[in-house]
Amino acid sequence: MNTNLKISNVTKIYPGCVANDNVSLEFNSGKIYALLGENGAGKSTLVKILSGVIIPDEGKIYLNENNLKLNSPLDAKKNDIGMVFQHFNLFETLSVFENLIIDSDEQRDSLREKIDTIMKKYNFSIDLDIPVLNLSAGQKQKVEIIRCLIRSPKVLIMDEPTSVLTEQETSELFLSLKKFSEEGILIIYITHKLKEVMQLCDEVAVMRRGKLVSVSEIKNENIESLANKMVGQNLKTIKKKKANTSSDQLIKITNLNFISEDPFETNLMDINFSVNRGECLGIAGISGNGQSELFQVLSGEIISEKNSIEFNNNYIGDLNPQERREYLMAFSPEDRLEQAAIPQMKIFENVALNNFKSSNFFNNGLINENKIKEHSKKIISDFNVNTDNIELKSQFLSGGNLQKLIIGRELITSPDLLICFNPTWGLDVGAINYIHETLIKINEQNKSIILISTDTDELLKLSDKISVIHKGKLSKIMNAEEVTSEKLGILMGGAN
Amino acid sequence: MIKIVKRDQPSRAIFFFTPVLAIFLTLVAGGLIFFILGFKPFEALKFFFIVPIADKYGFSELLLKATPLCLIAIGLSFCFKSNNWNIGAEGQLTFGAIVSGGVALIFYEQEGFYILPIVILAGAIGGMLYASIPAILKTYFNTNEILVSLMLVYVSKLILDYLVVGPWSNPEGFNFPETRQFSDSAKLPLLFEGLRIHAGIFLALAAVVISWFVFYKTYLGFQMKVSGFSLKTAKYAGYKGKKMIILVFLISGACAGLAGVGEITGPIGQLHREISPDYGFTAIIVAFLGRLHPVGIIFASLVVAITYLGAETAQIFMQIPKYTGQVFQGMILFFLLASDYLLFFKIKFIGSKK
């Protein structure tokens, strides 16, 4: 039987962010659909709406022409929509079978039979009576899939299913998904990995900043075209004037590795690069390829081997961020509201987060509030933060003003190197221009920048050299003049 | 029509109003419970909240109960402010009492001005040692401090049990589970003839002043505030997270240990099985009712202390179990958490469109 799922004009607004902006999409069984987009593009919100976890502000969902009222995950299950989340929802200490019967109202025996049939049919081999904690990530995912299959779903949604799988497990998963599809289950596959989309899917819908950007057939696309759609660049290349980069080396990273204990993080492998004074090194990549980890390693939130980072002829790999600041480094993290600043604290308190010793914010363990306030006023006027009240809680600053405050806080100590991560993410054009001008200006003052960004336009505009990070590895470092966005697109997709 | 709308910003007035609202709702619900039990609600509430503190003795008893609550809650606010969930203050109190009691027993037939300071110090150290266990396990082995600190409460109570029944029991005590009485030199001086209120109250007041200073005037207080809002930010700022976890646990353990000292060298004067009517747990309610603010905690400890006294009066005059006190403590916490909803949401009345 044919299944038709229709999303019609769905809008979901969060305070300060439109997660889904009037999205309409149609799916038909027999095909595997990819929903592609960067982190924060709105794809997770969309599938959470489909699975009843989030209720949309506007819009309707139709399954075979029936308007569905999805007010809870249970409603989605009743309407034959199954979903496997990125993070497993299993009870680790219960057995596989116990996990499977929890949300089923069938008899134990008949259910067991049913599970056995499903497992035989799809070649799953999992011992039903061992605790879930003994399973590998791939096996846990199979348990989640079986949990959906028990209800013989019409629609199966997979949210970033391969982020914790090995290559082997991934190809097994793809085989199963293709089989499900042949049997008439409509499959929606959410990912930001382009290669997988090319390998597995028939049609692809791309989302960016809450909006549906395009729907097309895979055979009309390639990795590079999809990458372009995802990051939304246009091909114009405005570049700054070529700075008189010296050959005076400021920072050198040698054989830096980071192995994470968290399966949702990316390992960094064999990172090597150097940046000269007055130079801006851009690091491109599709988000989730190790940018966040690289930023943390460079800022000292993650400590590495002492000799792996040489800065101004000092080895500083084992220092924490505060100690690194004393060597004249500064950091502007990606997450303005949860990391770079604390919205519930006042502006001047947020300024005190950068405790550069000679600013004298704290003397003998005591807060020197006058000093901090004096300093804050200077930042506000020097960096055009649009407020005159430093007692204001920073949650009342717009994103652009908050980012100016953060950049100002980091730059007012005249650091030799600024490391920033998506500095203009989510800002309006005016603020973006201001930040870009500021970054160009500090390059002109012979200070260096490492710019980690998912915005290709921004990178081409500001960088002197560019490298691409993919799966925790850096490509070779290229001169910005030699780079085109097409070339970046290919490297971002993982080709050599 | 009633609509619930998200607030743009939790207002400061509401922040201090909700604890008052919670107390009011507790009184209403308490009155209702008394009514269902067949008492006159107002009379019952009067027995519970007014009669116990109507005279000089009653007021001294109020301060006596509020002292440990305040002291422990101040200590706990160091932990809670910085995102560390120490809920084992009862265990730290007990262990502090054990160590200081042990020291007091060494001096049981001696007199001297030096004895009391040593006993007090021993209690603080005992509490710190005991609090360092969940802190070290958390920093070096990533264990959950809630579970560890809670479970250690029962361990310390069993250690106390063993000591007062076994090795430390009073040789002339006819096998009662208690130690010898401490010598007068190991006891906190009474403030007034005939009343039980003792010098321990000054420890609590000192803790209030010191904590206020630390929270609002020092770099440590600033770091605690940042860590409380966002551990990610604390890491980015480069604060030494592990050091701070251990420090706040030590402070909180010392306060709980001192509260234990206050009990055994104050009203009790010896070690026995029941040295604390769960002050360590109740202080968690006090800390939150007082909004983790030193002055707020003073008021909160007085309010909650009444429930202990009221429960005793109610038992005597109304023949209902003294555990009613715990019911009231539970209700305060419940209503506090419920009315905290108002911090983030406001209720709007909208005229219906018909």
Q: In this complex, do A333 and B220 lie within 8 Å of one another by their Cβ atoms?
A: no
With tokens 């991560």, the residue in question is: A421
Q: CB of B346 within 8 Å of any CB in chain A?
A: no
Q: A97 and A50 in contact (C-beta within 8 Å)?
A: no
Name the more confident of A319 and B322.
A319
Of all residues in chain A, the percent with pLDDT exceeding 70 is 95
| Least confident among A42-51, A159-168, B34-43, B136-145 | A159-168
pLDDT digits (tens, 9 = 90+) for A264-290: 788 999 999 999 999 999 999 887 889
Q: What is the pLDDT of residue B175?
A: 85
Min distance A92 CA to chain B CA atoms (Å):
17
Residue A370, chain B, CB below 8 Å: the answer is no
Residues paired with residue B166 on neighbouring β-strands, in sequence order: none
Closest CB to A362: pick one of B219, B225, B235: B219
- Which residue carries 């909180």 as its tokens? B252
CA dihedral sign, ordered B332, B338, B344, B349: negative
Of chain A, the end-to-end C-alpha distance in Å amounts to 43
Q: Which amino acid is at B234?
A: A
Residue A485, pLDDT > 80, answer: no
Note whether B233 contacts A342, CB cutoff 8 Å.
yes
Whether B240 contacts chain A with CB within 8 A: yes
Distance from CA of B243 to the nearest CA of A (A): 14
Dist CA B96 CA B264 (whole Å): 10
Query: Which residue in A321, A338, A344 is closest to B237 by CB distance?
Result: A321
pLDDT single digits (tens) A328-356: 999 999 988 889 999 989 999 999 999 88
- Mean pLDDT, all residues of chain A: 87
The whole-number pLDDT of residue A236 equals 40
- Cβ pairs bridging A and B (under 8 Å): 64
Positive or negative: CA dihedral A106, A108, A109, A112: positive
Would the CB atoms of A345 and B239 count as touching at under 8 Å?
A: no
What value, to the nearest 5°, has the Cα angle with vertex A312 and ends A310 and A318? 40
Q: Min CA distance, A121 vs chain B (Å)?
A: 42
Picking from B219, B229, B240, the nearest residue to A367 by CB comes out as: B219
pLDDT tier, A242 (very low <50, low <70, confident <90, very high otherwise): low
Instruction: Report yes or no: A15 at the B interface, CB cutoff 8 Å.
Output: yes
Q: Does A354 touch chain B (CB under 8 A)?
A: yes
Instruction: For residue B318, list its beta bridge partners.
Output: none
Q: Which CATH class is domain A249-492?
A: alpha beta
In this structure, which CATH number among 1.10.10, 2.60.40, 2.40.160, 1.10.3470 belongs to the domain B2-349?
Answer: 1.10.3470
Phi, psi torsion values for A272, nearest 5 degrees: -135, 125
Nearest Cα of chain A lies from the Cα of B296 at a distance, in angstroms, of 20
Q: Measured over all CA atoms, what is the biggest interatomic distance in chain B, rounded to whole angstroms? A: 85
Does position A238 have pLDDT exceeding 50, yes or no?
no
Give ∠ CA B139-A296-A354 in degrees, rounded to 5: 85
Cβ-defined contact of B9 to A395 (cutoff 8 Å): yes
Give the contacts of A279 (CB within 8 A, at least 6 positions apart).
A243, A245, A250, A443, A448, A449, A464, A465
The angle formed by the CA atoms of residues B197, B200 and B204, to the nearest 5 degrees, is 115
Query: Alpha-carbon torsion B345, B346, B347, B350, what sign?
Result: negative
**Looking at residues A435-455, what average pLDDT do you find?**
92
Chain B residues touching A410 at Cβ < 8 A: none
**pLDDT of A367 above 70:** yes
- Separation CA A484–CA A168 (nearest Å): 34
- Contact status, residue A192 vs residue A209, Cβ threshold 8 Å: no
Collect the ranges in chain B with pLDDT lower than 50: 353-354
* Cα dist from B270 to A43, A319, B126, B186, B255, whole Å: 66, 51, 17, 10, 20
What is the residue-wise DSSP string for A169-180?
Answer: HHHHHHHHHHHH
Q: How many angstroms separate the Cα of A226 from the Cα of each of A195, A291, A491, B280?
A: 10, 20, 13, 60
**The two structure tokens encoding residue B281:** 């747990």
| Cβ A206 vs Cβ A229: under 8 Å | yes
Residue A457 has pLDDT above 90, yes or no: no
Distance from CA of B312 to the nearest CA of A (A): 43
Distance (Å) from the alpha carbon of B227 to chain A's nearest alpha carbon = 10
Output the furthest CA–CA distance in chain A (Å, rounded). Answer: 76
Considering only CB atoms, B236 lies closest to which of A323, A333, A395, namely A333
How far is the C-alpha of A217 from the C-alpha of A203, rounded, in Å?
Answer: 4
Q: Are strands A4-14 and A58-63 parallel, antiparallel or unpaired?
A: antiparallel
Contacts of A344 in chain B (CB under 8 A): 229
Q: A123: which 2 tokens?
A: 């070649």
d(CA B348, CA B116): 58
Q: Domain segments of chain A: what residues?
A: 4-231, 249-492
pLDDT band for position A134 (cuts 50, 70, 90): confident
Residue from A192, A194, A168, A164 nearest A494 by CA: A194
Which 178-217 residues of chain A touch chain B by CB within 8 A?
A: none
When scoring A316, A318, A320 by the number of chain B Cβ atoms within 10 A, the one with the most, hence best to mutate, is A320
Q: Are A94 and A131 in contact (CB under 8 A)?
A: yes
CB of B247 less than 8 A from some CB of A: no
Which residues in chain A touch residue B223, judged by CB atoms under 8 angstroms apart? none
Span between the terminal Cα atoms of chain B, in Å? 11
B236 contacts in A (CB within 8 Å)? 299, 301, 321, 331, 333, 339-340, 353
CATH superfamily of domain region A4-231 = P-loop containing nucleotide triphosphate hydrolases (3.40.50.300)
Q: In this predicted structure, what is the pLDDT of residue A297?
A: 95
B9 contacts in chain A (CB < 8 Å): 393, 395-396
**Whether the predicted pLDDT of A209 surpasses 90:** no
ipTM: 0.80
| Contact between chains at B6 and A15 (C-beta distance less than 8 A) | yes
Structure confidence at residue B81 (pLDDT): 93
Say what the pLDDT of residue A484 is: 83
Q: Which residues make Cβ contacts (< 8 Å) with residue A281, sequence separation at least 6?
A: A273, A275, A448, A449, A450, A451, A463, A464, A465, A466, A467, A477
Structural contact between residues A150 and A114, judged by C-beta atoms closer than 8 angstroms:
yes
Contacts of B240 in chain A (CB under 8 A): 320
> What is d(CA B130, CA B118) in angstroms, rounded to the nearest whole number?
18
Give me the percent of chain A exceeding a pLDDT of 90.
Answer: 47
Interface contact flag, A342 B220, Cβ < 8 Å? no
Considering only alpha carbons, which residue of chain A is nearest residue B223?
A: A353
A63, A99 Cβ separation under 8 angstroms: no
Residue A212 corresponds to which amino acid? L
- Sort out which chain B residues have CB atoms less than 8 A from A355's CB and list them: 237-238
Mean pLDDT computed over A475-487:
87
Q: Say which residue, B77 or A52, is predicted with more confidence.
A: B77
Nearest CB to B230: which of A339, A365, A396? A339
Q: Tell me the C-alpha distance between A40 and A46, whole Å.
A: 11
- Residue of higher predicted confidence among B36 and A487: B36
Q: How much is the average pLDDT of A5-9?
A: 92
Confidence tier at A314 by pLDDT (50, 70, 90) = very high
- φ, ψ dihedrals at A465, nearest 5°: -130, 150
Rg of chain A over all Cα atoms, to the nearest angstrom = 25
- The β-bridge relationship of strands A186-191 and A203-208 is unpaired
Using the predicted structure, report yes or no on whether residue A17 has a pLDDT greater than 70. Answer: no
User: Are the CB atoms for A234 and A208 separated by under 8 Å?
Assistant: no
Residue A476 CB contacts under 8 Å (≥ 6 apart), including other chains: A467
3-class secondary structure, B286: helix
Given this model, what pLDDT does residue A235 score?
38
